[in-house]
Amino acid sequence: MSEDIYLIDGSAFIYRAFHAISALTNRDGMPTNAVFGFASMVRRLIKERQPVCLAVAFDSRGPVFRHQLYDEYKATRPEMPEALAGQIPYIKELVKALGLVSFEEQGVEADDLIASAVNRLADSGSRIVIVSGDKDLLQLVGDRVTMWDPMSDKVMDRAAVRDKYHVDPEVLLHCFALIGDSSDNIPGVPGIGPKTAGKLVKQYGSLEQLYERLDEMKSSKMKQSLIEHRDAAFLSRDLIRLKSDCVVPDEPAGYRLGEPDNGRLKVLYTKLGFTNLLKEVDNAAPIATDGFRLVRDRQSLDELAAILAEASLLAIDTETTSLNTRRAELVGISLSCGLPQCWYIPLGHRDEAGELVAGQLLPNEVREVLEPYLTSAELPKIGHNLKYDYAVLAQASDVSLAGPLIDTMIAAYLTEPARRSLKLDDLCREIDIKMTSYEQVTGGDKRDDAFAYVPVEAAGTYSCEDVHGTLALWERLQPRLAEKDMLRLFHEIEMPLVPILAHMEVAGIKVDPQRLDDLAEEFREKLAAREEEIYRLAGHPFNISSPQQLGVVLFEELGLPHGRKTKTGYSTDAGVLEKLAQQHEMPALIVDYRNLAKLLSTYIEKLKLLIDEKTGRIHTSFNQTVTTTGRLSSSNPNLQNIPIRGEEGGRIREAFVAETGTVFLFADYSQIDLRVLAHYSQDQALLAAFRRGDDIHNRTAAEIFGVSPLFITPDMRRVAKSINFGIVYGMSSFGLANQLRISRTEAQKFIDRYFDLYSGVQQFMHDIVEQAKRDGYVSTLLNRRRYLPEIKASDKARREFAERAAINTPIQGTAADIIKLAMLRVDELLQGRPGRCRMLLQIHDELVFEVDETQCGALQEDIRRCMEQALPLDVPLVVNMQQGHSLAK
């Protein structure tokens, strides 16, 4: 343990942390980057240096004594950003909770408190480490005092100060007086920098002696500046001189590091959303295992069945050999009908030789006993990420969970859609339940099927904890859903969607590997041709993928106009290249090259690797808990992001093909966002247009351009379409100007004309923002909420982002709810239909089905009717239907 006393310049590190860490917020939208950076620095110091004594000094609020000496002291510094000011109380609470001594005194700064501590401890014999990057504190460096900057890991001792400033720390104050400090608005003497100041102080010894012997100096601009700015030099020294008589402890014991208060830290870290830090101060208690039972023989299984027969709720969790549901084999199942009793049924545990261990029931025997309860339409099933368990049981045991489903992951998401972690372990930690981690139970085994080699007893405890934690979590989440009036959304939309999505994932979509191979070869040839042409224009080969090398070619060799040069070179992003393409042919070729390279690597080559060997299809995962608006997302791979624009995008979509004898049926909501906007805004012109079945983009174009609908050009319609959809997303004149490549003035005129036409839309936008400011959230027609704490932020960028979200979320969120309702209605329609007819994909406002060619015509109108009647609005919902043998239609 070190005997050093560490004195942290708290205020300086708060600012440095704030600017060093990019925007970071908690789930309420509150900025947390400064707190996190400060916490990281302090924790690193404690871990690496293991100090016995540690204190933090803070600046006081308001003017300090230096302002009495000089009104302009720090006058040029901007006010503390609101995003930082709001974090200061949490940093001070963090310091207290960590058990650190802290100092703050009205009218003085953190530097003065540190100087006072160094002065008081001078005779203690202790070594002192000043933790800061502030050069003013280098005045305090001495034989037993050093300064350490943990951000650069640089230590400044007496020798380092002398090497940098050419004087000893004791006279550094005189150097600084001559240099001044522009950041604090300390004048110094103009024209004198660190090197000159060091020479002068080394020669004359002090400021007084310099001025006493000024006549000895030859005439020069420097001498004249010294004469003219004598008062400023001495004022600067008074401003930079550190006050050393503040009230601080004069014994090392007064700086001793205390014990952290884990309770306070837990509350703080939970509030701030520091999930990883929360794990370190966990006050959560392990679950008592008294109620856990292993089911390893038929008698125990029959006893469990008798209990299940009386159950009113069944929690379930599967343990498997893979996260991929199509490859996963069951290792065990845990069940619970109510706390604290939980059961674990081992099925596939193996020894290191790969042989099944003794004392496990046969899977078919277990299935025969459990299936009536798992498939019971009356018995509710509860799990965390229940879609996984549903798919595993369907794939591995041909058992489909039935009855009301309850997923605590989705419940947690609905109550707090912006939260970072929905992991069971993290959610349980917040209700003081400590779970055994997967890494702990597997001992860090990295094999995909590691759980199969976990001893049965340990696996049983781990798996029973999962169902126990899930039930405990539901007890907390159910009343929260009721309080927020979300139970209908949860039980009638999100939960019935779980099995539908599971079946869609199992179904997958067929991909033609030969077509992908042909495309890959074609794209490589195109890339080689583009590369050769780019080299010809440049006059030599270079790394086209290197922004630095490309910048040199474009801006230095070809002399094209560029923006400001940074440490890493010139910007060569898409926006820059598109502007340059009007002046030279190379930038357009670079854009084309990049697009081709991205399509090849991201889609063509990657898709080939993702084709399932058994099914010949690609199986995505649909996520209900990712977006803040409620829209479904797709991952591994993202099939909602398949390129649609351009010839190359269409070629890639052609690789997704229907099975022989079937055809793809596409059902796409027409302008659903605008129809929802009409319903919300009650704008009479918009309502009337949709009720008449007008082409809304043509109508908008006719009004804003002041021409007959008969004379609308494609460009006019494109402008109107950009405005119609841009308004939904809160687009500004700046955004519209960039999108249409017109002036902001012209863009604003278009927007003004739009609001003249649809005044109800403008009123809706104003009203919804005001409601968000009042309530702190907005909601969809089905009461899905999105919280917007930054709606009242003084920071303009953050506030305007929240305002755009307030406008967009009810519209996009309601559209998401509508298509989910449509999926439920269509699924009911397809149940029991003869032949192949299944839902494959949901891509934004479109559903994709694979159906027998012979049935497509009859089915088409039924699907359209289900979707158009999904949710009654004040305007009709319209669904466009298409058929095709590939996703290119």
Instruction: Specify the range with the lowest mean pLDDT, choosing from 26-35, 286-295, 817-826.
Output: 26-35
Cβ–Cβ < 8 Å for 427, 267: no
Average pLDDT over residues 541-552: 93
* Phi, psi (rounded to 5 degrees) for 405: -105, 145
Please give the structure tokens belonging to residue 315: 């929690």
pLDDT digits (tens, 9 = 90+) for 342-355: 999 999 999 999 99
State the Cα–Cα distance between residues 683 and 755, nearest whole angstrom: 10
Average pLDDT over residues 809-833: 94
pLDDT digits (tens, 9 = 90+) for 66-101: 999 999 999 988 888 888 888 999 999 999 999 999
Find the angle CA(665)-CA(670)-CA(674) to the nearest 5 degrees: 155
Q: Which residues, at least 6 apart from 68, have a Cβ–Cβ distance to it below 8 Å?
A: none
SS3 783: coil
- Whether the per-residue pLDDT at 822 is higher than 90: the answer is yes
Is the peptide bond preceding residue 78 cis, with omega within 30 degrees of 0? no
- Whether the per-residue pLDDT at 584 is higher than 80: the answer is yes
> Could you tell me the pLDDT band of residue 143, with boundaries at 50, 70 and 90?
very high
Q: What is the pLDDT of residue 2?
A: 44
**What domains appear along the chain, each with residue ranges and CATH number?**
2-255 (3.40.50.1010), 285-509 (3.30.420.10)
Cβ–Cβ < 8 Å for 453, 447: yes
424 DSSP 8-state letter:
H
Q: Which residues pair with 881 in a beta bridge?
A: 667
* Phi, psi (rounded to 5 degrees) for 499: -65, -30
Q: What is the pLDDT of residue 24?
A: 81
Average pLDDT over residues 699-727: 87
In single-letter form, the type of residue at position 800 comes to E
- Whether the per-residue pLDDT at 567 is higher than 70: the answer is no
Average pLDDT over residues 687-700: 92
State how beta strands 846-852 and 662-669 pair: antiparallel
CA dihedral over 455, 456, 461, 465, signed as positive or negative: positive
In single-letter form, the type of residue at position 530 comes to R
Residue among 33, 3, 292, 316 at smallest CA distance from 144: 3
> Could you tell me the pLDDT band of residue 737, with boundaries at 50, 70 and 90?
confident
> Could you tell me the pLDDT band of residue 1, with boundaries at 50, 70 and 90?
very low
Q: What is the pLDDT of residue 275?
A: 83
493 DSSP 8-state letter:
I
> Could you tell me the pLDDT band of residue 25, with boundaries at 50, 70 and 90?
confident
pTM beyond 0.85: the answer is: no
Q: Which residues pair with 55 in a beta bridge?
A: 7, 101
> Could you tell me the pLDDT band of residue 857, with boundaries at 50, 70 and 90?
confident
Q: What is the pLDDT of residue 276?
A: 84
Q: What is the pLDDT of residue 732?
A: 81
SS3 145: strand
Average pLDDT, the chain: 92
Q: What is the pLDDT of residue 37?
A: 92
Q: Kindly state the percentage of the chain with pLDDT values over 90.
A: 74
SS3 743: coil
Average pLDDT over residues 249-259: 92
